Structure 1
Amino acid sequence: MSNLLEWQSISKSYGDDAILSNIWFTLNRGTAIAIVGHSGGGKTTLLSIMGLLQTATSGQILIEGQEIDHLDSRRLAKLRGQYLSFVFQRARLINSLTALENVMAPAWFIRKGENVEQQAKDLLEQFGLSHRLYYKPQELSLGQLWRISLARALLLKPSILLADEPTNDLDPALAEEVAQCLLQARQNGAGVVIVTHDVGLAAQADQPFRLEAGTLLPVVCQ
């Protein structure tokens, strides 16, 4: 069985400025990796390449054994919709839509013909928000907004869930809630990648890494 996601000697440079250098790693279904590192060290660039939003300067990326470096922008977009979903530091919800509508919105375009509304309701119930289906974002707490954002990502049934600084600026209790929601996605077979400054969150991943001087180094937890 092929790896869900595999990087082979990936590097990224802007002119003479090397951001990533000779990175190798694999991601399997039902596992979570976390990547820590200082600000400006290339974590966002790494996540953007992983999410097929940027291209590497050199190296090879495979998704379930399929090489993607030769694909055009249309086929890459299709691959993103098929495999990937994103959770950002801020919820990025649409203020004019209800919680339920925000969760359903991306799925309408990708999962046509499926019972999207009922599945969205089921996810919101799972996250304790069945009593907030028809509330607008401005009527909800920060924690509720974040859970809606995660439900929106999970409704797409991604094989790979990418999270960018999901606990930044959150109080400890909410940060732990966010961490557990993210890691729970493994139970549905998703591979989870979390870019974070939160060493506590990173320690809960199956494999934490540190991005240092453009190189990805495994972290051995004591």
Structure 2
Amino acid sequence: MGNLLELSNIGKNYGEDVILSDISFTLDRGTAVAISGHSGGGKTTLLSIMGLLQRATSGKVLVDGLDIDRLNSNKLAKLRGQYLGFVFQRARLINSLTALENVMAPAWFIRNGENVEQQARDLLERFGMSHRLHHKPQQLSLGQLRRVSLARALLLKPPILLADEPTNDLDPVLAGEVAECLLTARASGTGVVIVTHDAGLASQADQIFRLEEGKLHSAIC
């Protein structure tokens, strides 16, 4: 059984600016990896490449052994839907939908309308959001938005879960709850990658890396 996610000699340039250089990385099933580094150092770009949201300038990305360079845009989108869940720093919810509808939205497209409402309700209840099911994003606090985003990411039980600063701007109690939800996803075999400045969260990962000057370095866990 191969790696869930493999990056080989990844580079990313914007014009003459080198953002990432010669990065190799593997993610195994049931493990959590934390990536830290200075703001503006390319962490979100790296996460976007891992999440198939943008292409690297050089190198290869394999998802469960499949080379994504061989896929057209439609097949790439399908692979992303099958394998990846995202928790963005900004929740990126649909303003016209309720919290419950936002959680269910990916399933409507990926599972051809399969009814997952009860699963969505259960996740929101788990995150203390049962009293906000029918509220729209503009009616929710930052912490509530983050919880809706996390529930949306977990609903389809993705093999790979990517989180960008998931505890940023949250109070310690809520940050702990979000961290626990992310890290317990390992128990079902999900591979988790967390970009974070939160040293406490990073310390709970199985591996810690630091991105410096475009290169990824292993840190002591």
| TM-score (structure 2 length as normaliser) | 0.92
1:187 paired residue number: 187
Q: Once superposed, what is the RMSD of the aligned Cα atoms?
A: 1.7
Task: Report how far residue 211 of structure 1 moved.
Answer: 0.3
Residue correspondence of structure 1 range 150-189 to structure 2 within 5 A: 150-189=150-189
What is the SS of the residue equivalent to 1:194? strand
**Structure 1 residue 12 displacement after superposition:** 1.4
Q: 1:113 to 1:99 in 2, by over 3 A?
A: closer
The 3 A distance-change label for structure 1 pair 136 and 16 is closer
Matched-pair contact (CA < 8 Å) for 2:100–2:134: yes
- TM superposition shift of 1:80: 0.8
Percent of matched pairs sharing the same residue: 77
Displaced runs of 4 or more, over 6 A: none
Q: Measure the CA separation in 1 of the matches of 2:43 and 2:13.
A: 14
Map of 1:32 onto structure 2? 32
Structure 1 unaligned segments of length 5 or more: list them. Answer: none
Equivalents in 1 of 2:11, 2:95: separation in Å? 39
Q: Secondary structure at the match of 1:125?
A: helix
Distance 1:141 1:12, change over 3 A: closer
One-letter code of the match for 1:90?
A: R
Give me the whole-angstrom Cα distance separating, in 2, the residues matched to 1:93 and 1:15: 31
Question: Are 1:49 and 2:46 an aligned pair?
Answer: no
Aligned residues: 221
Deviations, residues 187-216 of structure 1 (Å, cap 9, x unaligned): 222111111111221111111100011111
Q: What's the secondary structure of 1:157's corresponding residue? A: coil
* 8 A Cα contact 2:166 2:178, kept in partner: yes
Q: Is the CA contact 1:110–1:156 (under 8 Å) kept in the aligned structure 2?
A: no
- Give, in whole Å, the separation in 1 of the partners of 2:187 and 2:124: 17
**Is the contact made by 1:111 and 1:156 (CA closer than 8 Å) also made in structure 2?**
no
User: How do 1:1-222 and structure 2 match up within 5 A?
Assistant: 1-221=1-221
Q: Secondary structure at the match of 1:69?
A: helix
Q: CA-to-partner distance for each residue in 1:35-80, whole Å, 9 max, x for gaps?
A: 1000111111101111111111221111111111222222211111
Structure 2 stretches lacking a partner, 5+ long: none
SS at match of 1:208: strand
Question: 1:212–1:95: structure 2 CA closer, same or farther, 3 Å change rule?
Answer: same
How big is each residue's C-alpha offset from its partner over 1:3-44, in whole Å with a ceiling of 9 and x where there is no partner?
Answer: 100111111122332211111111011111111000111111
State the 1:139 CA deviation. Answer: 4.1
Deviation at 1:162, TM superposition (A): 0.9
Per mean C-alpha deviation after superposition, the further-off stretch among 127-136 and 112-121 is 127-136
